[in-house]
Structure 1
C-alpha cells in the first residue's frame, strides 16, 4: 500500500521545518540585550571581536557589572555581586596575582570559589558565585559560573582589574610618551633578547596561563616618583618630573599593545577610573603621558622591562602602604577588606 500525501500536508510539513530551523538559528545567535537590562546571572561574551591582545577588566560597583576589554575592544559584559555593607569591595587598580580553577576559601568554611583570579593576598578575588542582584559577598566579585570560565581562559598574571565607582571606556593614546621610541617594535625586540630571566613571586600560583612577566609601572605625582615592578617585585625606582605640577595627573591605567593584529606598532590603551561620577576633565590620557619625564636611569629601566601587556598607572596619591599594598601592586582608593 502506497501512502498518498496531499499538497496541504507537504506545505504544512515544510512550514514546520522552516519554523524549526529559524528557531534553532535564533537560539544559536547571540541575543542583543542592553547592558543595563541584563538579569542577575546573565552575561554577553564575544571574543571574536578582538581575537588577540592585552586584556583589561573593569568592575563597576554602582552598576554591578563587569566589563572585559581585549586590545581596547569590549569582548564581554556580565552581572556581578560585590561586597555587602560591612564587607565592601575595595576600589582601585589591581593586577591578577594568582589563578586557581578549583579554589576553596581558607576563611569562609572552605567555600568553593571556582575560576578564581586573585586580586589581593588578603582575600579579594574574581570568582564564580551566587548573584542575587545586589552586593552580597564578603568583598570578592562574584560572577556567573559560565562567564567566570570564559574570563579565566583569557586572563594572565598581571592582567589589570579596575574596580571603581565610575570608569571611562578604553581609548587609544597614539603618543608613546616617555617610554617608547619611534621604532617601538625594534626596541622591544632588542629588550627581549637581552633582558635577564625575571624573578618569580614568592607564592607560586597553582594554575597559571602561560604568559610573560607581569610588568607594572606606577607614576605618582604626589611623590614625583616612578616605580617599576616585575612579577610583583620592585626592580627599579626613580624621580619623575611632572610638567605643570600644580595640575593633577588624574587616575589612568595604560595597557601596552599592538595597534591591530597585523600592525607592528605599539600604543597605550587607557582607562580612567574615579571614586565617584565626578571626572577630572582637565587631565586627558594623552596630556598626562606628555607631562611625565624621568631621568635616563629610570627610562632605561623601563625600556629594559617593557613588553606588550605591560601596565602603567598614574595616580595623585603617595606610594605609601595606605595606597600600595606591597608586592600585590594594588593601588587602592579604599581600605582593603579581608
Structure 2
C-alpha cells in the first residue's frame, strides 16, 4: 500500500508542471482575419460586428456585393474632405473622409484589352444626366435588332439604315480628358469595362453626391 502511495506522489510531481504550464499567460496571437474554427472548419471573424475590420474580414470579401457604410462619416463627407481610392486587384473602391473609410463598395474596372490606367487623378467633370459614350456601345440594324453588343464606333461598321447607340453612363464623374471616369454601370465581380470605373448602382449616387470637381481619385 505504501509503495503504491509513493508511486502516486511521484506521478503527481510530474503532472503539476504540466497543469500549470497550460495556464501560463503568454502573448496573444494577432487575430487572423480569415481564420477558421479548428473544430468545425468554419470561418470565424474575430472583429466586432459593424466595424470596417469585420466587413473586410468576412469570408466573401472582396467578392461580395455588400457595401460598408459609416453613416456618421458619410454625413459629413463632401468635396472638401473626400477622396476615392480604386483598387483594381480587389475590384472595390473606398470613399474616404479625411483619410477614414466612409464607404467601401464594388466596382468593375477595365478588362485586359482596355485596362483602367493606374495613377493619381481628380474629378474633372460631373454630369448626373443620362450621358452616353460616344465610343463604346451597341450597333443596331435597320430593323432595330442588335447586331453588335460590344461595338467600337471608331472601328465597327454600321449597316445601312442602322445606328450606333453609346453605352449609358449616368452619374458620370470624369477623371481624364480621354474618356476615363466613374459612372453607374453593370458591375460583375471582375474587370469588364472599356477602361472606365463602373460603380455599383447602390453606391454610385452616394459617391456622386460626396465628391466635387477637384476631388482626388487614386487608381492602384
TM-score bracket for this pair, using the shorter chain length = 0.5 to 0.7
The match for 1:43 is 67
- 1:82 paired with 2:109, answer yes
Distance in 2, matches of 1:88 and 1:40, equals 22
- 1:149 paired with 2:205, answer yes
The match for 1:63 is 90
- 1:161 paired with 2:189, answer no
Deviations 1:55-92 (A, max 9, x none): 11111111111011012211000111110011000000
Distance in 1, matches of 2:64 and 2:133, equals 23
- 1:114 paired with 2:114, answer no
State the secondary structure of the residue aligned to 1:90: coil
Distance in 2, matches of 1:78 and 1:68, equals 8
Distance in 2, matches of 1:89 and 1:40, equals 21
Question: Are the counterparts in 1 of residues 123 and 214 from structure 2 also a CA contact under 8 Å?
Answer: yes
Distance in 1, matches of 2:169 and 2:71, equals 24
Q: 1:42 to 1:104 in 2, by over 3 A?
A: farther
- 1:100 paired with 2:127, answer yes
State the secondary structure of the residue aligned to 1:135: coil
Question: Are the counterparts in 2 of residues 81 and 136 from structure 1 also a CA contact under 8 Å?
Answer: yes
Deviations 1:207-229 (A, max 9, x none): xxxxxxxxxxxxxxxxxxxxxxx
Task: Name stretches of at least 5 consecutive residues in structure 1 with no aligned partner.
Answer: 1-28, 165-338
Question: Are the counterparts in 2 of residues 64 and 79 from structure 1 also a CA contact under 8 Å?
Answer: yes
- 1:34 paired with 2:56, answer yes
Question: Are the counterparts in 2 of residues 45 and 76 from structure 1 also a CA contact under 8 Å?
Answer: yes
What displacement does 1:30 show?
Answer: 6.5
Q: Indicate the structure (1 or 2) with the bigger Cα radius of gyration.
A: 2
Task: Name stretches of at least 5 consecutive residues in structure 2 with no aligned partner.
Answer: 1-48, 137-164
What displacement does 1:54 show?
Answer: 1.1
Q: Could you say what the CA RMSD is over the residues aligned between the two structures, in angstroms? A: 2.1
Q: Within 5 Å, which residues of 2 pair with 1:1-338?
A: 33-34=55-56, 37-49=61-73, 51-52=76-77, 53-102=80-129, 103-108=131-136, 109-164=165-220
Deviations 1:116-152 (A, max 9, x none): 1101121100111111110000000111112000000
Distance in 2, matches of 1:63 and 1:33, equals 14
What displacement does 1:46 show?
Answer: 2.1
Deviations 1:194-219 (A, max 9, x none): xxxxxxxxxxxxxxxxxxxxxxxxxx
What displacement does 1:38 show?
Answer: 4.5
Distance in 2, matches of 1:72 and 1:138, equals 29
